[in-house]
Amino acid sequence: MKTRNILLSGAFALVSLSAAAQVGAPYIHDPSTIAECDGKYYTFGTGGGGLISEDGWVWKSGAVRPGGGAAPDAIKIGDRYLVGYSATGGGLGGGHAGRILTMWNKTLDPNSPDFAYSEPIEVAHSEYDEDCDAIDVGFLMDDNGRLFCTYGTYFGNIRQVELDPATGALKEGSKPIDVAIDCEASSMMYRDGWYYLLGTHGTCCDGANSTYNIIVGRSRSPYGPFLDNVGRDMLQGGGKMVVAAEERRFGAGHFGRYIVEPGVEKMSFHWEADLDLSGRSTLAIRPIIWNNGWPEAGQVLADGNYKILSRRRGYALELAVDFVRTAGGMRGFFGRQDETIVVIENQKLEEVIEGWPAGEIPARANDYMARPHQKWTIQAVPEAGGYLGGPYYKIVIEGTNRALAAAEGAEVVTVPEFTGADEQLWQIEQLTDGTWRIMPKAIPGCSERLCLYSVADSTPTLAKFDFNNDNAKWDIKIR
């Protein structure tokens, strides 16, 4: 977190992204990586304290972190939580002196009888005139059980030290090494034999004029060099873009990774300014997409009209109703060159809806023909809450209130009216390959978590999610 600002001018487009912002009171700056504790989600911010969520979508204040300071991070190791923060630094007051401190807790729940932080210990520091600020701590535990800590700001180098995962203290013999410049709020992650170094580039602390964006480089070694997608070393200012500004939200900074399960990953960060929330600094959560080995920000699905296509075959989800022929039949192989062009309209809902059954109609998949029974409206249901990074949605036939629903026996049907029942609410998450998982909030008579699944080319059902199986994946394409 630095304090230098650059003022920019210009007009910003106004668009509606109704499902793009966390709800409740998601106000925070420099959030730590989200941690789960006893079914709740926690993140800490600059100045002490932080946010708690019951479901990962609706947030409120209440997380407790002593010590104040700036830019914390949190990680679960075994059955304990290690929390780190910086006591000073960031070039504040014209100097670079700072300290990185760590402390333990058995729980993050401030109402638990086991809630008690250990005394903080110093793991890194910087001097007044040093080319590094000991601030903006980031933790990584790799697959080999090694614990790394990065820190630093734009006012000098990003540095890394190795910690002892048993004590949270500096590992014996570990010396700080420089790994990047021209960024801050750094963190690391490990995937498929690669170590990724993420940093926040640009200017902060200037609201909608902040140019913060998150960049990344990678290395086969935890010590670097960390190169970007065109081979630039982050020690020379390299870095590939991960997430930058949106139309109504600016200043993406302080990356954290949360793995829900294989194929479902989230990134947390803050927006320096959300224009839909009074321009305040707010918590952001987006899916992580892995594109040729590089992380990118995915989407939280926005309200709109879509076609829903199975990744298995490419067939479209539709109502199981009779196919009704439309205008535009065969005109012959040879037409007159001087024939007047006539625009033929698509088949309209009012032309076919009276022929649909009045009650439940099963769902199936078939060739997409832009017919009314294949056109869906997906819309967030704010009062239904959500899950980590997203709201629950209703999925209805466009122009109607006929809703997709889970039914007993793990079947998929449509009901004449959307009522807000749990079996009519859908968790829609973008996966790490860019496809989507569609999962009902509840299934009558079933306690398992099942997703929309292509058991055969034309037969959708509900089954267990398997990221390695295209039957469990869908493409959602705006119409």
Residue pLDDT, tens place only, 118-139: 999 999 999 888 899 999 999 9
| CA distance linking residue 399 with residue 33, whole number of Å | 41
Question: What backbone torsions phi and psi does residue 165 show, to the nearest 5 degrees?
Answer: -65, -15
According to DSSP, the β-strands at 403-407 and 411-415 are antiparallel
Structure tokens at 262: 């294989």
Q: Across all residues in the chain, what is the average pLDDT?
A: 93
Structure tokens at 128: 């007044």
Nearest to 64 by CA among 125, 108, 14: 108
Asked if residue 14 has pLDDT above 50, the reply is no
CA angle 27, 91, 179 (to 5 degrees): 90
Asked if residue 292 has pLDDT above 60, the reply is yes
One-letter identity of residue 136 = D
- Per cent of the chain over pLDDT 90 is 86
Cβ contact 146:222 at 8 Å:
yes
**Residue 197: per-residue pLDDT:** 98
| CA distance linking residue 23 with residue 400, whole number of Å | 28
Nearest to 136 by CA among 223, 238, 33: 33
- In order of their start, the domains of the chain are 23-297 (2.115.10.20), 304-325+341-478 (2.80.10.50)
**Residue 146: per-residue pLDDT:** 98
Asked if residue 242 has pLDDT above 70, the reply is yes
One-letter identity of residue 388 = L
**Residue 151: per-residue pLDDT:** 97
Largest CA distance in the chain: 88
**Residue 9: per-residue pLDDT:** 29
**Residue 332: per-residue pLDDT:** 64
| CA distance linking residue 233 with residue 157, whole number of Å | 13
Beta strands (DSSP E) in 342-466 are 361-366, 376-380, 386-387, 390-397, 403-407, 411-415, 426-430, 436-440, 451-456, 459-463
**Residue 10: per-residue pLDDT:** 29
Mean pLDDT on 90-106: 83
End-to-end alpha-carbon separation of the chain, Å? Answer: 41
Cβ contact 267:295 at 8 Å:
yes
Question: What backbone torsions phi and psi does residue 91 show, to the nearest 5 degrees?
Answer: 75, 10
Mean pLDDT on 263-289: 97
Structure tokens at 327: 């205008």
Alpha-carbon separation of residue 397 from 373, 401, 419 (angstroms): 7, 7, 14
Nearest to 320 by CA among 397, 393, 379, 377: 397
Task: Classify residue 233 by its DSSP letter.
Answer: B
**Residue 147: per-residue pLDDT:** 98
**Residue 17: per-residue pLDDT:** 39
- Per cent of the chain over pLDDT 70 is 93
Task: Classify residue 129 by its DSSP letter.
Answer: T
**Residue 19: per-residue pLDDT:** 54
Residues 6+ apart with CB under 8 A from 224: 177, 179, 197, 233, 234, 235
**Residue 329: per-residue pLDDT:** 72
| CA distance linking residue 280 with residue 73, whole number of Å | 21
CA angle 14, 256, 382 (to 5 degrees): 45
Asked if residue 79 has pLDDT above 60, the reply is yes
Q: Which long-range contacts (CB under 8 A, 24 or more apart) does 168-173 make?
A: 168/82, 168/84, 168/102, 168/103, 168/104, 168/121, 168/123, 169/102, 169/121, 169/123, 170/123, 170/124, 171/147
Asked if residue 1 has pLDDT above 50, the reply is no
